[in-house]
Chain A
Amino acid sequence: MPNTYGNRTLTEWLTLVLGVVIVLVGLFFVIGGAQLAMLGGSVYYLICGVVLVASGVFMVLGRTLGAFLYLGALAYTWVWSLWEVGFSPVDLLPRDFGPTLLGILVVLTIPVLRRLETRRTLRGAV
């Protein structure tokens, strides 16, 4: 795997950056979410944070699984937020707007991740 990002294209760079951002967001969720859970608050952030960290790590490693983990977390986020506040746009805004924007970017990385995986498979076959 050392050569996964050997000759990176721009899209591969951006995918890497997105993976790092998702790891950072995930860490924020894990640390903050653990505090919140210990204070008796929602456990959503802790659970979601763990998934996000995993998602980001896999994306950094060039694994398509990372993107699908993110989309799974996003689906969880939507279900949770609708359960928590219903169809109230003002309340859905902080919960879902940013994560969905990120989700669109993540979807765009799927072909890139696929290409990376293919390249790695080919290289593994050599």
Chain B
Amino acid sequence: MRRSHLLATAACVTLACAPLAANAQFAPAGSGGSPTASVPGPGNADEPTATTPASTSRFSGPSPYAPQAPGVNAANLPDIGSMDPNDVPQMVPQQSAAPAQGDWSAYGRDDSQTRYSPLSEITPQNADQLKVAFVYHTGSYPRPGQTNKWAAETTPIKVGDGLYMCSAQNDIMKLDPATGKEIWRHNINEKYEAIPYTAACKGVTYFTSSQVPEGQPCHNRILEGTLDMRLIAVDAATGNLCEGFGHGGQVNLMQGMGESVPGFVSMTTPPPVVNGVVVVNHEVLDGQRRWAPSGVIRGYDAESGKFLWAWDVNNPNDHSQPTGNNHYSRGTPNSWAAMTGDNALGLVYVPTGNSASDYYSALRSPEENKVSSAVVAIDVKTGAPRWVFQTAHKDVWDYDIGSQATLMDMPGPDGQTVPALIMPTKRGQTFVLDRRDGKPILPVEERPAPSPGVIPGDPRTPTQPWSTGMPALRVPDLKETDMWGMSPLDQLFCRIKFRRANYTGEFTPPSVDKPWIEYPGYNGGSDWGSMSYDPQSGILIANWNITPMYDQLVTRKKADQLGLMPIDDPNYKPGGGGAEGNGAMDGTPYGIVVTPFWNQYTGMMCNRPPYGMITAIDMKHGQKVLWQHPLGTARANGPWGLPTGLPWEIGTPNNGGSVVTAGGLVFIGAATDNQIRAIDEHTGKVVWSAVLPGGGQANPMTYEANGHQYVAIMAGGHHFMMTPVSDQLVVYALPDHKG
């Protein structure tokens, strides 16, 4: 979501605003009219075969059987062989299973992905003395002539004597955790064309081999999935590629994917290793075409890089690699959030997104409808799902899950402990599930939803799931009186915009005759920042967004007029529609026009602030809200994108998560005011803040080096949040502990 667009300032008196607002037009986005293309019947709902004639429209992508474009196999690697999952060597205990006190061994610190650190040197009493200890430049930022697609989103990990991280374009480095000095750097030479919607690398994975003896190269490894779909293993001590992994340390993850172009499919999250199996997911660019590349989830041997299994939604019984000209089933739900491993149960928890062509569901298979926008627990021995819990049925709102699941223990009915999983969602509904069987631990109600909707042949489901046992991270349904502005003029504009749209709450069905309001939107609720959980105090920290969208389906004819075409169309030009915006949805009867629910003339959101919140929930005493307040000030935001400089904690859209520590502090950037802050975990009071050199759209982390606590955040910024992009990792410590 775009950065917040706020607020009347004294500088903008009504006099100054009147001429501009008077020019405002009331034309809604998109056009009306009925679809020109007929709705495909069940017979057309199948993926094209090798003999299906290719579409001749200049707005359509090639056949899924067409060869992959040059650069899709980025390192021109040979195919990887398969091995029997039963032959995977026994995994030795990993660093992330029980991190050393001062370490942060995995993306969410430990195997439970709690984002909780037992460090306590920094406290609410001394946090206001925090100073920059060092800054490290990754060197990845948009060069002249390149579109700004940057949002590094990186969280370093810290194991022993090294801080390991990746640049936005996947170069891997090891830093001295006390000084920020680069110990080694492994450049992977990724091409600009490989950047999909966003150049992001959320982190790397630390893996200790059971096969390579201690002291030998690649006993400890850094694993990384890349934007250009390579799985890379380097030696943690030297940064050199692990020759025994894949082909010279790399595996081509585009193997078996069928037709594609660079930037269509990419990895942005650190792959978890579960019982020796490294599991990879990937994002597939939204909104392009119904028969986009597969969202397949795959397991590889973390020792050898050999293929073990695939979970291919429309081939549920075939867990092998496609052979010959075949490929994994197209258009299936992709998973782009960080996954969570569970060694004890032998499962990986996959937060799934939506089938390709997010806003039209008539062409999806029953298999897809079962597993989209869900948590899927896959058995890492076989690649078969053991259970599925769906968070939105037949999703046509892009409520794909961006968050990583956090593992915790919940008290069970008979006093025994239940292994639980917390799944935040963009809906602001947080589901707490038993991770043995996926059954809800806290009550979930199926409540009526608008059905069947207005698109012929694409009915909505009559009910949707609501997590009634957890506080909802959302505000009530929007009303006309929630419309905002800096004057009655722009407020009136938004009131008309509100009334012109279809809106019947969270599950308002998509429409083609007029726009519909989507709240929470695709940036609403909890996104990839996920949640942090303090197992000692039982406090769960959640930051979330209030950012509605204004969407409209458009007929194929209108989509063509708008120039919407999929990224793999030979006529595609960058900027011609893309993820998180207007999309061709080639292969369906409709395209999609997606905009923020805002005043396009002032750049301010139409709804009243706040636009972003932070909430503390007491999980040990009835899931009550301990404190909750807006997150982010108006200092860097304002009408027409002008910074107001105001310290008013208005609550801005936010992207990126939090850290909670035994010192009783929550560290978080995320907001579009480009600040990092320390918040008292128990009271919610902001005890320290500092302005970053770029947007703080990344999860911070904390660690100990030379006996002192450090707090690190990648101030990489975010192109879509319109915060300044930088290549700087900023690390704070108390005075006298500077590197």
Question: Is B495 touching A98 in the complex (CB atoms < 8 A)?
Answer: no
The verdict on B417 contacting chain A, using a C-beta distance below 8 Å, is no
The verdict on A2 contacting chain B, using a C-beta distance below 8 Å, is no
Binds B, one of A3-11, A59-67, A86-94, A109-117: A86-94
| A45 closest partner in B (C-beta) | B492
When distances are taken between beta carbons in the complex, the residues of chain B under 8 Å from A29 are 488, 492
A18 to B169 CA separation, bound complex (whole angstroms): 56
Question: Is B481 touching A85 in the complex (CB atoms < 8 A)?
Answer: yes
Give which listed residue, B484, B500, B609, contacts A39 with CB less than 8 A.
B500
The verdict on B499 contacting chain A, using a C-beta distance below 8 Å, is yes
* Contact mask for chain A residues 1-45; partner B; CB cutoff 8 A; 1 contact, 0 none: 000000000000000000001001101110011011001111001
Interface residues of B in 467-515 (CB under 8 A from A): 480-481, 484-493, 495-496, 498-500
When distances are taken between beta carbons in the complex, the residues of chain A under 8 Å from B490 are 94
Give which listed residue, A33, A42, A84, A101, contacts B13 with CB less than 8 A.
A101
What is the CB-to-nearest-CB distance from A78 to chain B, in angstroms, rounded to a whole number? 12
| A91 closest partner in B (C-beta) | B608
Question: Is A41 touching B496 in the complex (CB atoms < 8 A)?
Answer: yes
Question: Is B493 touching A32 in the complex (CB atoms < 8 A)?
Answer: yes
A20 to B451 CA separation, bound complex (whole angstroms): 50
A71 to B269 CA separation, bound complex (whole angstroms): 59
| A40 closest partner in B (C-beta) | B499
When distances are taken between beta carbons in the complex, the residues of chain B under 8 Å from A84 are 481
Q: Give the interface size bracket for A toward B.
A: 20 to 34
When distances are taken between beta carbons in the complex, the residues of chain A under 8 Å from B492 are 28-29, 32-33, 36, 45
The verdict on A120 contacting chain B, using a C-beta distance below 8 Å, is no
A27 to B19 CA separation, bound complex (whole angstroms): 12
The verdict on B91 contacting chain A, using a C-beta distance below 8 Å, is no
Give which listed residue, A27, A39, A98, contacts B488 with CB less than 8 A.
A98
* Contact mask for chain B residues 148-160; partner A; CB cutoff 8 A; 1 contact, 0 none: 0000000000000
A93 to B480 CA separation, bound complex (whole angstroms): 16
Question: Is B13 touching A41 in the complex (CB atoms < 8 A)?
Answer: no
Question: Is A97 touching B8 in the complex (CB atoms < 8 A)?
Answer: yes
| B22 closest partner in A (C-beta) | A28
B interface SS class = helix
When distances are taken between beta carbons in the complex, the residues of chain B under 8 Å from A32 are 26, 489, 492-493, 496
For chains A and B in complex, what number of residue pairs have CB atoms within 8 angstroms? 84
A41 to B480 CA separation, bound complex (whole angstroms): 7
When distances are taken between beta carbons in the complex, the residues of chain B under 8 Å from A77 are 488
When distances are taken between beta carbons in the complex, the residues of chain A under 8 Å from B344 are none
| A29 closest partner in B (C-beta) | B492
When distances are taken between beta carbons in the complex, the residues of chain A under 8 Å from B498 are 41
The verdict on B17 contacting chain A, using a C-beta distance below 8 Å, is yes
Question: Is A98 touching B486 in the complex (CB atoms < 8 A)?
Answer: yes
The verdict on B21 contacting chain A, using a C-beta distance below 8 Å, is yes
A96 to B493 CA separation, bound complex (whole angstroms): 16
A28 to B18 CA separation, bound complex (whole angstroms): 9
A25 to B489 CA separation, bound complex (whole angstroms): 8
| B481 closest partner in A (C-beta) | A84
A41 to B15 CA separation, bound complex (whole angstroms): 25
What is the CB-to-nearest-CB distance from B597 to chain A, in angstroms, rounded to a whole number? 16
The verdict on B147 contacting chain A, using a C-beta distance below 8 Å, is no
| A31 closest partner in B (C-beta) | B26
The verdict on A47 contacting chain B, using a C-beta distance below 8 Å, is no
The verdict on B537 contacting chain A, using a C-beta distance below 8 Å, is no
The verdict on B14 contacting chain A, using a C-beta distance below 8 Å, is yes
Question: Is B608 touching A90 in the complex (CB atoms < 8 A)?
Answer: yes
Interface residues of B in 491-547 (CB under 8 A from A): 491-493, 495-496, 498-500
| A49 closest partner in B (C-beta) | B492
What is the CB-to-nearest-CB distance from B516 to chain A, in angstroms, rounded to a whole number? 15
Q: Max chain B CB contacts within 10 Å: which of A36, A40, A102?
A: A36
A77 to B7 CA separation, bound complex (whole angstroms): 20
A24 to B480 CA separation, bound complex (whole angstroms): 24
A84 to B491 CA separation, bound complex (whole angstroms): 14
Also in contact, A94 and B488, with CB within 8 A (given A24-B22, A25-B14, A42-B480): yes
Give which listed residue, A27, A41, A90, A99, contacts B14 with CB less than 8 A.
A99
Give which listed residue, B18, B481, B496, contacts A24 with CB less than 8 A.
B18
Give which listed residue, A21, A39, A45, A85, contacts B18 with CB less than 8 A.
A21
A95 to B608 CA separation, bound complex (whole angstroms): 12
Q: Max chain B CB contacts within 10 Å: which of A32, A33, A35, A77?
A: A32
* Contact mask for chain B residues 691-723; partner A; CB cutoff 8 A; 1 contact, 0 none: 000000000000000000000000000000000
Question: Is A21 touching B15 in the complex (CB atoms < 8 A)?
Answer: yes
Question: Is B496 touching A39 in the complex (CB atoms < 8 A)?
Answer: yes
A25 to B13 CA separation, bound complex (whole angstroms): 13
A32 to B487 CA separation, bound complex (whole angstroms): 14
A24 to B23 CA separation, bound complex (whole angstroms): 11
Interface residues of B in 27-52 (CB under 8 A from A): none
Give which listed residue, B13, B22, B481, contacts A98 with CB less than 8 A.
B13
What is the CB-to-nearest-CB distance from B647 to chain A, in angstroms, rounded to a whole number? 16
When distances are taken between beta carbons in the complex, the residues of chain A under 8 Å from B21 are 28
What is the CB-to-nearest-CB distance from A21 to chain B, in angstroms, rounded to a whole number? 6
Question: Is A97 touching B499 in the complex (CB atoms < 8 A)?
Answer: no
When distances are taken between beta carbons in the complex, the residues of chain B under 8 Å from A102 are 14-15
When distances are taken between beta carbons in the complex, the residues of chain A under 8 Å from B609 are 90
When distances are taken between beta carbons in the complex, the residues of chain A under 8 Å from B19 are 24
Give which listed residue, B15, B22, B480, B486, contacts A94 with CB less than 8 A.
B486
Question: Is B608 touching A98 in the complex (CB atoms < 8 A)?
Answer: no
When distances are taken between beta carbons in the complex, the residues of chain B under 8 Å from A85 are 481
| B648 closest partner in A (C-beta) | A90
Question: Is A97 touching B487 in the complex (CB atoms < 8 A)?
Answer: yes
Question: Is A94 touching B491 in the complex (CB atoms < 8 A)?
Answer: yes
Question: Is B495 touching A94 in the complex (CB atoms < 8 A)?
Answer: no
Also in contact, A94 and B8, with CB within 8 A (given A35-B496, A41-B495): yes
A85 to B479 CA separation, bound complex (whole angstroms): 11
What is the CB-to-nearest-CB distance from A28 to chain B, in angstroms, rounded to a whole number? 5
| A33 closest partner in B (C-beta) | B492
Question: Is A45 touching B488 in the complex (CB atoms < 8 A)?
Answer: yes
When distances are taken between beta carbons in the complex, the residues of chain A under 8 Å from B493 are 32
Give which listed residue, B487, B495, B500, contacts A42 with CB less than 8 A.
B495
Question: Is A98 touching B499 in the complex (CB atoms < 8 A)?
Answer: no
A14 to B15 CA separation, bound complex (whole angstroms): 12
A36 to B491 CA separation, bound complex (whole angstroms): 11
Question: Is A41 touching B18 in the complex (CB atoms < 8 A)?
Answer: no
| A102 closest partner in B (C-beta) | B14
Provide a sorted-by-A list of 19 A–B residue pairs whose CB atoms are within 8 angstroms.
A21-B18, A24-B22, A25-B14, A25-B22, A25-B489, A29-B492, A32-B496, A33-B492, A36-B499, A39-B500, A40-B499, A91-B481, A91-B608, A93-B8, A94-B8, A94-B488, A97-B14, A98-B13, A102-B14
Instruction: Given contacts A40-B499, A98-B13, list 7 more A-B pairs with CB under 8 A.
Output: A24-B18, A32-B493, A32-B496, A42-B480, A94-B491, A95-B488, A99-B488
Contact residues of B with A, CB < 8 Å?
7-8, 13-15, 17-19, 21-22, 26, 480-481, 484-493, 495-496, 498-500, 608-609
Contact residues of A with B, CB < 8 Å?
21, 24-25, 27-29, 32-33, 35-36, 39-42, 45, 77, 84-85, 90-91, 93-95, 97-99, 101-102
Top 4 A-B pairs, shortest CB-CB distance:
A98-B14, A39-B499, A98-B487, A94-B491
